[in-house]
Amino acid sequence: MKNLKAQFKLIIYLFLSLSVSNVVLAKKSDKFHDAKDVSNYFSGILSTSNNQYEKSYSFLKSLNNLEDSHHIYIQYYQYSLINLNKFKDAANYTKKLQDKKLDNFESNLISTIYYLKNKDIKNASFYVQRAVNKSQPGTVQNLLSASLKNWINFEDITDLNSALNLLENIPKQFQNVKNIQKTFAYCYFDSPKTDEMFRKLTINPNVNLFRYHFFHSNYLISKKENVKTKQILNFSLNQNPRNLMLSQLKIDLEDKKISNNKFDCKNTTDVIAEIFYIISNALASQKNYVLSNYYLNFAKYLNPNFISFNTLYAENFLAIKEYEKSKFIYKEMKKKGTTYSWYAAKEIASILTEQERKKDALSILKKSFVKKKNPTLYEIFDYAEFLKNNEEYEESIKHYSRVLNLINLNDPLYGKVMDGRGVAYERTNQWDKAEIDLINSLSASPDDAYVINYLAYTWIEKGINIQKSLKMLRRANKLKPNDGYIIDSLGWALFKLKNYKEAKQYLELAVIYMDSDPVVNDHYADALWKNNKTLQARYYWNYVLKLEKTEEKLKKEIERKILFGLKS
């Protein structure tokens, strides 16, 4: 709904913009009054907003010279070119704009990166200054252009102190980015304090900078500091065992292979590529995928040998449900090492599940898992989770048990494994085992609201421990106050305890959060009936019958309720 509203606002804005410019357009060219060209204009910009870059490029490229009167056209056409990796075309287009004195921040940025990539420092310096002049103080554009200017200027600087002084022009609100660049500056100038600076950077408890353990390790490898490298990797992976870059680097070192994440802190383009990645990642966290992909493609252009960039690229497409593009990137990642291969297979399988291709999803992940000679603890756990989530309960129990044999009670995975296996036991009618596992899971993670909910709701359905379940669910609701499943369970516990008035209040709220869930709507209808709202109750029961996800067993129960109501 938000996306539709945003598109509608964009259409209105473009319509008004186009209307105001009619006089100018008439002077420039009659062709822009053609219905087809107006349609291409709107379609191109909307396609860019929807991350459909091929369509956007196709629509916009035909509107030659429209930039003379519509600056928004310039920006969106540039987005299309960069997001399609048409850097040479983008550079040529910026020349056209500059000849017309129509350059903007993006055109100067494109020129800067194009010349930098082609080692033309003189022209790169010229255009980066124009980019700085086109940016507003304190903005991301200002951060980016100032950072690029600094690193391009490093080419003519011979001492670290001068470089560090240059970095002081980075806006204060971007302190973490400044600290990262300062650390890279020590590395760039091969300072003996580089190791110390990396340690200071990554020790900050308020910011997750585990990514920079990779760059620290990479630096130590270049110095042949093998013992220190292993210490850094082991420490970081102990804290963050799912870090792809570090996991793959450790395997590559053990197997004496060259890493597919190639980075040299003495290479200006490699450092600048990382700066683009930082900005892209921040934009992705704000769900601005158009700009995130735009800046990420600069990173990929400057350092095409850094596979980690593709992880974010695939995640961005996955977030906007561009499944085929995401799958294509993951398929390429599968070739880049065992850790990336497993991660990519897992993501492809998840996409196939989302596309309701469960059989294919199970097939691809099973094949990938079987190929692994020595799967890691987390890979076994991930496989068990995937099996459980796809109703392969018996098989998942075997792998959960395998993980439990490899860990102790204090392991961070213990509570999650017990929860997963407990659910699998419950779904295979092995309640005695399931109850033990779920209770053990809560012993390890007492604040896990979802485990509390699962155990309490199952007790309620079995007609046992209902008072205890109610107390547990009130706590779960405080831990996760906006979760529809927990609110439904809480309402259902109150219903079972014949507190129909309060039950109705919670179940009504649950329906708001989960309006298409058959069970939640059925619970609410039951509560309505008990509150003498019989007409409304039958309305909701009839609604449940129309839902696609309603199981046959529930349909039969509801048909009986519609005819005879609830038994007293």
Structure tokens at 58: 């196709």
Model pLDDT, residue 73: 85
Model pLDDT, residue 11: 44
Residue-wise DSSP of 388-410: HHTT-HHHHHHHHHHHHTT--TT
Residue 403 CA to residue 379 CA, distance in Å, equals 10
How would you class 528 by CB atoms within 10 Å of its CB: exposed for 0-12, middle for 13-18, buried for 19 or more?
Answer: buried
The answer to whether residue 122 sits within a structural domain is no
Model pLDDT, residue 47: 85
- Contact (Cβ atoms closer than 8 angstroms) between residue 201 and residue 212: yes
The answer to whether residue 29 sits within a structural domain is no
DSSP, res 136: P
Contacts of 469 (CB under 8 A, 6+ apart): 456, 457, 459, 460, 493
Walking along the chain (568 residues) 10 residues at a time, the average pLDDT comes out as: 47 42 40 68 83 87 79 88 93 90 92 95 95 91 95 91 93 91 97 96 85 96 95 93 94 91 95 97 94 96 95 96 95 94 96 94 96 92 97 97 96 96 98 98 97 97 96 97 96 97 97 96 97 96 95 95 88
List, in sequence order, the alpha helices (H) in 84-120.
87-99, 105-117
Model pLDDT, residue 386: 97
The answer to whether residue 514 sits within a structural domain is yes
Range of the structural domain that residue 543 is part of: 466-568
- Contact (Cβ atoms closer than 8 angstroms) between residue 333 and residue 310: yes
- Contact (Cβ atoms closer than 8 angstroms) between residue 148 and residue 164: no
Domain count, the chain: 1
Contacts of 310 (CB under 8 A, 6+ apart): 300, 329, 332, 333
- Contact (Cβ atoms closer than 8 angstroms) between residue 256 and residue 158: no
Structure tokens at 49: 């907003």
The answer to whether residue 495 sits within a structural domain is yes
- Contact (Cβ atoms closer than 8 angstroms) between residue 391 and residue 424: no
The answer to whether residue 548 sits within a structural domain is yes
Residues in the chain: 568
The answer to whether residue 101 sits within a structural domain is no
Q: Which residues pair with 306 in a beta bridge?
A: 261
Q: What is the CATH number of the domain that holds 565?
A: 1.25.40.10
Model pLDDT, residue 32: 52
The answer to whether residue 350 sits within a structural domain is no
The answer to whether residue 524 sits within a structural domain is yes
Query: For residue 294, which of 73, 61, 58, 87 has the smallest C-alpha distance?
Result: 87
